[in-house]
Chain A
């Protein structure tokens, strides 16, 4: 598995765990179940931590791509120093995709917290992937 697939898999594991626990908790709330998964402290804390981790991932991803934008490599390298031709198009398209995704997502699912965490994860992942592709195209390094 490459970097993108591994990161995607780990993120999907987090989303899957979050979905399972949230579904079970909402099932209990909606049906007034006698046994509520919310009473399990460990599982409830996983839910909170996973949401926090995904939110932090988005912040880190955006910090990372900002740092990539500002970075340059020495003139002794075969690559161009600023790598602008690789950065501009990719980050612009990422910005457009984020805006379109957010608008479409809000229209479809509203701004419910349970759904918004998926959008957060999706945008974080796209940001990371775009950053890796820029770096790969600029420096020519394998993933």
Chain B
């Protein structure tokens, strides 16, 4: 087998050196009745070309030829070839967690740069080396707030991504947290007065997302003021991190939980993605996940090490800040490369392209009789539209034209019937937006004519 560097002769020599007659002897500590007598029934073995063929066949059975207007937490953005070139270098791809600093400075310095970029983006003072994704980062941020405040009630915006709310509820069940939802206001965002009505001094955290799931920008300073007025912490979740290229960072937040998939990571049917927690220096000891810190070696040379490890599971065990061990390191590296390629000018330009195309799409779609924009709050590259017909029917028409239409919102928000979430990025072609508008106009025309 091509992955096994042994010849039959060598195996024999090694067995002799051990003093065993056969390889079976080396498994004698397993009770005999559990030792398999036959090989497992698995597909293969496949040669490299056959493996490729298998997956190419699967690739053809997906939706590659469709244009798509889906976002909702996973965004299709341009990715540079260089990002892949770098993360595919064996020294990055096949290296281990950098516990042995002397031979992992590449990884450690890259993590330090990543942490810095995340702080610059979010306006926070310290950021960790990654969590598994935005949904688990948000959950861990809430648990962090619980540890800091020693309170157990959490107010969560209804406009936080529905799947993120699900994950929070799963973790809350066993941690004794009570999770309460706060409804959205008419403009599609959260309202500080509505929030204040629910706030008492037993609230550990208020959790909002900005831009929120419906695309609307939240008023973070107002949310922060409300939360702080009763000693609660503000957690801001961000699913479309590219928005930070143009949107003011949530400096007033106590903890930011970010999804970094927009930075050089392919949609890849849902993962691997990139969670990040960023917060204030004063909370760093309650922060989960790895942290790379700057230091010197015995000759005074600058170097980097994993630090504040006493927070983590391998030292603290049952008192650890989290159980996380393996994180999303290579994804964080991809984001680091991607962001340094974009740079200060590029991230702004890219964000402007997203905003411009989204505004164009809105104007094209809202022109169509019967289509309206229900929420007045500003948006970045996602917005909600209300249609006069069921979204599922509209999307069926779109599919026939090889277009995957916007996400139907009613299954997630029963109070929003016939509403859909449209996502536009820099990869959405003008021609596709115009096709979408044309098909939509056709689909809605009969209704209009009947009226």
Bound together: no
